[in-house]
Amino acid sequence: MSELPHLLIERVSISRLIEPAPNASQRQQIFQTALRAPDHARLRPWRFLVVEGDGRVELGELMARAMQTEDPTLSQQQLDKLRSNPLRAPLVIVLIARISEHPKVPAVEQRLSLACATQNMLLAAHALGFGAIWRTGPVTFSRAFAEGLGLVGHEEVLGFLYLGTPAAEVPLPDLPEIDQHFEAWPRQTSGS
């Protein structure tokens, strides 16, 4: 098996991430892969906020404020968890879809382009020896959170990419059977 497919098959989401994060040169490589995502009509329907250091604390505070605005019944424990979420990795990238009106590129296709850009970054981080995980949660879809980030009406958060060094050895899960997910179409019936 060649190296590239090997890297693709071994990529897994890693939730326990520690320092170091990718350095400036490694980040450039990771970020460049995002910009090569499939992009119908070259709309570039993505924007990324790079958060690290004390910015992660500020991001957590914004998460807690936004969710408390939307649900004043949240407990102190729930708010504290929101505040600590961005501290789970040394580098957090906020994934933003920039939706444009276009006669041939519906909004769903633009969101899928951001998803492809994110997958490219996940793969690039893995290829460079880093761990990553794409997280969402209710705050992802909070308009108060989006406004706190300075997003405008046509922009929406689609999640957070956490990047860093795996805190421990990561076992590979078993791959599902290919035949459980891929099938020929149209189906051949007996007697055809």
Q: What is the pTM of this model?
A: 0.93
Q: What is the arithmetic mean of pLDDT over 77-88?
A: 98
Q: Tell me: the pLDDT tens digits for 135-163?
A: 999 999 999 999 999 999 899 999 999 99
Torsion angle of C-alpha atoms 61, 118, 150, 137, degrees rounded to 10: -40
- In the chain, pLDDT over 70 holds for what percent of residues? 96
Q: Which of 26, 53, 145 is nearest to 95 (CA)?
A: 145
Residue in 101, 100, 92, 112 with CA at minimum distance from that of residue 160: 92
| CATH class of segment(s) 15-172 | alpha beta
Contacts of 96 (CB under 8 A, 6+ apart): 46, 47, 48, 49, 114, 149, 151, 155, 156, 157, 158
Task: Read off the tokens for 91.
Answer: 């580098």
Instruction: List the chain domain ranges.
Output: 15-172
Do the beta carbons of residue 46 and residue 191 sit within 8 Å?
no
Choose the most confident range, by mean pLDDT, from 1-10, 61-70, 166-175, 179-188: 61-70
Other beta carbons within 10 Å of 185: 6
